[in-house]
Amino acid sequence: MRVAVVGATGAVGREILRVLEQREFPVSELRLYASARSAGRSLSFRGQEVTVEPLPETPLPADVVLASAGGGVSKQYAPLWAKESVVIDNSSAFRYDPEVPLVVPEVNPEAIRKHKNIIANPNCTTAILVMALFPLHRAFRARRVIVSTYQSASGAGASGMEELLEGTRSFLEGRPVEHRVFAHPLPFNVIPHIDTFQENGYTREEMKVLWETQKIIGDPTIRVSCTAVRVPTLRVHAEAVTVEFERPVSPEAAREVLRQAPGVDLVDDPAQRRYPLPITATGKFNVEVGRIRRSLAFDNGLDFFVAGDQLLKGAALNAVQIAELLASVPG
């Protein structure tokens, strides 16, 4: 397939290139695009240097466009690209459009059949959550979900990671910690504020988890409440999850379900200090799930902890997996 990557020089764009290479995606031709100020750079792919081109205001010469340049760019150009390519968009521009499938391949691969040349990649927090939630929902039927997130600096892209690193250096050297990307200084801090606040008191990031979970799982009756928190880690979003189920559930039964779930690593041995961690989930394709225990708040409930690489399953990997689904469909 002819592949175009839009936003190739960003954190997610670079991960897309690595994932395409690692998974041996059948690329016959690769075109890389970015803003005018990033054009002219070279990025390595399969031992060759590929020059980054400025994004034209025309359709792109590709079968698949992997877009990660922000919602504004996608809103403006994706309909144009979709005239000649299938667009897999990593922004929020089309996630809530009823005509655009929102896909996590381990959860709802059948949704791609409905695409009209645009497929949306979910928010990173949602993608990581549904990897653990969906197999449990299928087995025990989830009714209410409470999520508290521990989201890394990488959720704000390369600039967020750089601000954390530079701010940490400044803090340790006794200099003032400046912040532009985040609402407050992030080093040695946590910030319960991601995205813009809505009229109901939740942030848009928190509402995305509700809207997207319902759409991906295909059940608008699931009730989800989320508190999204930025923490001073570089990569991996972690989530503490409480779920009330319709059917009786036990930690042992849940472990067996998750042990067999695709894309999930069961890391659940507290006696040996084995549980999901950002440091062990970094760079990993699978999502780690552990700390599985009975809820003390709900009769048919579980508490568990999830950690997944925001730049991989939360973004680049999921996009490439969608492209793999497209490549496997005849015609």
Tokens representing 306 are 């999830």
Q: What is the CATH number that goes with domain 126-310? A: 3.30.360.10
Q: Which of 232, 92, 238, 90 is nearest to 171 (CA)?
A: 232
Instruction: Write down the domain spans for the chain.
Output: 2-121+315-328, 126-310
Rounded to whole angstroms, the Cα distance separating 232 from 154 reads 10
Rounded to whole angstroms, the Cα distance separating 268 from 277 reads 11
Q: Matching CATH topology for 2-121+315-328 and 126-310?
A: no
What is the CATH superfamily name and number for domain 2-121+315-328?
NAD(P)-binding Rossmann-like Domain (3.40.50.720)
Provide the CB-side half-sphere exposure for 274 (13 A, CA): 8
Facing residues of 302 across strands? 243, 294
- The mean pLDDT value of the chain amounts to 96
Which residue in this structure is represented by tokens 């009330």? 244
175 three-class SS:
coil
Whether the pLDDT of residue 156 is over 80: the answer is: yes
| Cβ atoms within 10 Å, residue 134 | 21
CA geometry: angle 128, 134, 138, nearest 5 deg: 170
3-state secondary structure 60-75: CCCCEEEECCCHHHHH
Query: pLDDT exceeding 70 applies to what percent of the chain?
Result: 99
pLDDT of residue 330: 60
pLDDT digits (tens, 9 = 90+) for 103-125: 999 999 999 999 999 999 999 99
Provide the CB-side half-sphere exposure for 131 (13 A, CA): 33
157 pLDDT tier (thresholds 50, 70, 90): confident
pLDDT digits (tens, 9 = 90+) for 124-142: 999 999 999 999 999 999 9
Whether the pLDDT of residue 331 is over 70: the answer is: no
Residues carrying an active site annotation: 124, 237
The residue-averaged pLDDT of 307-327 equals 97
* Global pTM value: 0.95
pLDDT digits (tens, 9 = 90+) for 184-220: 999 999 999 999 999 999 999 999 999 999 999 999 9
Which residue in this structure is represented by tokens 């993608």? 127
pLDDT digits (tens, 9 = 90+) for 276-305: 999 999 999 999 999 999 999 999 999 999
pLDDT of residue 158: 87
Residue type at position 39: A
pLDDT of residue 45: 97
The DSSP output letter for 313 is I
Whether the pLDDT of residue 1 is over 60: the answer is: yes
pLDDT of residue 213: 98
Residue 251's Cβ-count burial label (10 Å; 0-12, 13-18, 19+) is middle
Q: What is the DSSP secondary-structure string of 220-264?
A: TT-EEEEE--B-S-SS-EEEEEEEEESS---HHHHHHHHHTSTTE
